[in-house]
């Protein structure tokens, strides 16, 4: 299954610098496209974009709070942000699975998958952001 052009679907907290957003989209639509596509339907992992290294990795949801702490010195997001991110990921997976069901039943149908990316800005004073991404399923 191929995916068409992606666009971003901002979440309420997603006030991301245009330059970071451009680099994120180049990465997610370029060298990380296969990881992105697999991640759309993976309920256990979230994509994490590190602006400083310009890389995307998957992080298991169970260790998300360990890898990206919500409290303590230097924390850059809250436990509410973490919970909201996990919830957004659940909704995105549900929509993506439904989209695949639609296109499996009717290959001519147009449906979109959704994903969630945790964005780690290079500036350690800037909080983490969450960015929704959307892709159209193309046959």
Domain range list for the chain? 2-138
Rounded Cα distance between 119 and 96, Å, is 21
pLDDT per residue as tens digits for the range 20-36: 888 988 998 899 989 99
- Look at residue 20 in the predicted model and tell me its pLDDT: 85
What mean pLDDT, rounded, does the chain reach?
Answer: 86
Q: What is the torsional sign of CA 83, 84, 85, 90?
A: positive
The model's pTM is 0.84
Q: What is the pLDDT confidence band of residue 98, given thresholds at 50, 70 and 90?
A: very high
Query: DSSP readout, 48-73?
Result: EEETTTTEEEEEEGGGHHHHS-SSST
């Amino acid at each position: 299954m191929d995916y068409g052009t992606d666009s971003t679907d901002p979440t309420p907290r997603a006030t991301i610098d245009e330059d970071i957003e451009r680099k994120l989209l180049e990465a997610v639509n370029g060298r990380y496209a296969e990881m992105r596509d697999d991640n759309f339907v993976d309920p256990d992992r979230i994509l994490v974009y590190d602006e400083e290294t310009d890389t995307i990795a998957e992080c298991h949801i169970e260790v998300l709070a360990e890898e990206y702490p919500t409290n303590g010195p230097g924390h850059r997001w809250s436990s509410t942000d973490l919970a909201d991110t996990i919830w957004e990921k659940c909704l995105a997976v549900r929509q993506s699975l439904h989209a695949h069901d639609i296109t499996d039943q009717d290959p001519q149908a147009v449906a979109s998958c959704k994903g969630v990316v945790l964005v780690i800005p290079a500036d350690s004073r800037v909080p983490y952001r969450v960015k929704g991404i959307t892709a159209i399923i193309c046959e």
